[in-house]
A and B are shown apart, each in its own frame.
Chain A
Amino acid sequence: MPEFDPVYLAIVIVGLMGGVLGVVGYLTLAERKVSAWIQDRLGPNRVGPGGLLQPLADGGKFFLKEEVIPAHVDKVFYLLAPAVAVITSLLAIAVVPFGPTVAPPDPQPTVAAFEAAQAEYRNHFSFVMAPGLDVGVLYVFALGSLAVYGVILAGWSANNKYSLLGALRSSAQIISYEIPLGLSVLGVFLIVGSLNLEKITAWQADHRTWLVLVQPLAFLLFLVSAYAEGSRLPFDLPEAEQELVGGYHTEYSSMKLGLMLMAEYVHLVTAGFIVSILFWGGWGFFGLENLLTDPVGGAVLKAAILIGKMLVYCGFALLIRWTIPRFRFDQLMNIAWKVMIPLALLNLLCVMVVLQFGWPLVVLTGTSVLSFCGAGVLSVWLRGSVTNPKRPVRKLPPGLPAGVTYASR
C-alpha cells in the first residue's frame, strides 16, 4: 500500500465521514418520507422547509433524551455493543471509493520499476480513504461479519428475551447470507482478476461494460444478500417490531439507540457503494462521465455519478421495503441455503469454465439467465417441496371437535 500525504488523507477522512453521516441522516428522513408517500400520507413536514431539518431535530432529540441503563443488563457488553456496531460499519467505508479513482499499479519485475510506478500512482488523487488496498472487498466483508458482534453483544447483554431472540435471528441470518454474498461476487473477482475496488472500476471502464450485464445472476444474488446483511425489509427479522418489540435494541435508549440505527444506515450506504462499483460500473455512465474534460469538473461529475448510483440503490431499498412482506424464518433460511448458495456455486462454475476455455464473456449472460430460469423450472417441477416444504396435516377421527388438526410426526 503506497504512502500518501497525511493532510490530504485527513481532509478525505473528515469529508467522507461527514458526508456519509449526512447521507445517513437524510436517509432516515427519506425513509420516513417515502414510507409516508407510499401509504398516501405526507410524512414529516414541520421542521424546516418540507421537513428538511427533521434529521437535525431527531439527532438533537437522541442526545437530549434520558439515558437509561437497566439494572439487569451486563454493563460492559451493553455499553460496548453500540460502539462495536457503529465502529465496524464506519471502518468498512475506508476502502470504498466514493468518486473517480485510479487503478493501483500492477506488480513490477524490479524494485526500481516498482518504486517508479508507486511514485507515479502517488501523484494521482483518489477519492478513497485507503487507496490501493489489494484485499479491497474482502476487508469490507470481514468487517461486515464483525458487525454481527455488535448485534449479539447487544442481544445477550440486555438480558431480555426479545433482545436475545432478535440477536439469535440476526446472527443466524447474517452468517447464512454471508455465504451467497461472498460466493456471488467470486465470479466478478475471477473475471477482473483483482479484489481491489479501484481495479474493478477500471476494468469496467476499460471494457466499456458494466459487470451487471455479464453477471446478472450474481448481481441479483448479491443484491438480495446485501439487503439481508443489512437487515433491511423483507429480511428485518432481527427487529421485527410485531414479534420482538425492537429486537436486539429493545433495551437501548438515547444516543445508544441512535448509534444502533445509524450503524444500519451506514451499512446500507456501504452496500450501495459496493454494488455500484462491483456491478454498475463505478463512476462510469455510458461515456457521460467524460463530458467535462477539466480535471476538477470531471472528478466532481464522476463522484456525482457514483454517489447517484449509491442513492439509487438506497432508494430501491426503500421501495422494496413496502413491496415485499417479511419472510418467515424457515423461508429465509431455505432461500439462502437451498436456492441462493447453489445458484451462486453454479454461477461460479460457469465463470470458471468460460474463463478456462477463453470464451467471450457474453456467454456468461446466457448461462446466468439459463441457470435462473432453470431454478424456476426445477422449482415448478418439485412444486416448492424443497424451498417451502409442507408438513402433512392429518384429520382427526370423527367425533372430535371439527377443525382441530395437528401435524403428523
Chain B
Amino acid sequence: MPMTEADVRWVQEPKLGFWDQIYFPAMIDGLKTTVGHLFGRKITEQYPEQEPKLPPTYRGVHRLNRDAEGRVKCVACYMCATACPAHCIDIVAAPAPPEWAGREKYPETFVIDELRCIYCGMCEEACPVDAIELTTLYDLTGLSREQMVFDKEKLLSVFDTTTKAGTDPVRTQAGRLSVASEPPPG
C-alpha cells in the first residue's frame, strides 16, 4: 500500500533557548558524559590471558561421547551424516563386538572434516543416542588441512578433555519432534 500524505508526520526541531544558544551548558553536559566514560569501567576482554565465558549452548568443536564403560557411545546409524548439510561426517560401520550388549553396530572409523563443517549443530540434534555433541572449544587451529580432519580417537579425546575441564556442553535431549512431523489434525 503506498504511503499517503496522512501517514507523514512533520516533526519540528525544538526551539533553542538562551542557554542552548550560548553552547556552554550543552558543552558541559557533553564533557560530563565523556569524562564519565573516561574513568568508567572498561569492557575490553584481554583475549589470550582472559578467556571469554561462552554460553553452554555455544557450538564449537565436536566430541564423541563415551558411555559409562568408556566405550564409544555411537551406534553408527548414519543419522548425523545424513543430517549434515555440509557432508563433512564420514562413518564406516562394523558389527559391534559380541560383549557390547544391546547394540548391533559401532563405528569402525568416524571422521569429521572440521574445515568443511559449518557448526550448525544438526548432527547433535539428529543423534538418537546423544553420542555426538558440539563443545564450547572455539580456538581450533592446525598447520595443514589434514590436521583438521578429526578421526574417532581425536574426537574421543575432545570428550576426555572437556569432561575433565568441566566444560560439558548442554546435553541434547531426545524429545518430542516438532509439530511438522505430526499428522494434520482431523
Contacts and interface: CB of A to CB of B under 8 A. Distances in A.
A215 to B, nearest CB: 17
A383 interface: yes
A69 to B, nearest CB: 38
Given A37-B42, A380-B16, A403 B8 contact: yes
Given A37-B42, A383-B15, A376 B7 contact: no
A34 B2 CA distance: 49
Interface residues of B, number: 28
Interface string B1-25: 0111101100000011111011000
B22 A375 contact: yes
B165 interface: no
Contacts of B180: none
Nearest to B33: A323
B18 A377 contact: yes
B81 to A, nearest CB: 44
Interface in B12-60: 15-19, 21-22, 27, 30-31, 33-35, 37-44, 46
A101 B131 CA distance: 82
Contacts of B2: 401-402
Nearest to A388: B16
Contacts of B41: 40
B42 to A, nearest CB: 5
Nearest to B36: A38
B3 A323 contact: no
Contact of A41 (B19, B27, B42): B42
A377 B19 CA distance: 9
Contact of A42 (B3, B15, B33, B42): B42
A319 B15 contact: no
A37 to B, nearest CB: 5
B18 A380 contact: yes
Interface of B: 2-5, 7-8, 15-19, 21-22, 27, 30-31, 33-35, 37-44, 46
Given A322-B34, A372-B22, A379-B21, 8 more contacts: A40-B40, A40-B43, A41-B43, A42-B42, A376-B22, A377-B18, A377-B21, A401-B3
Closest 5 CB pairs of A and B: A376-B22, A379-B21, A323-B30, A42-B44, A376-B21
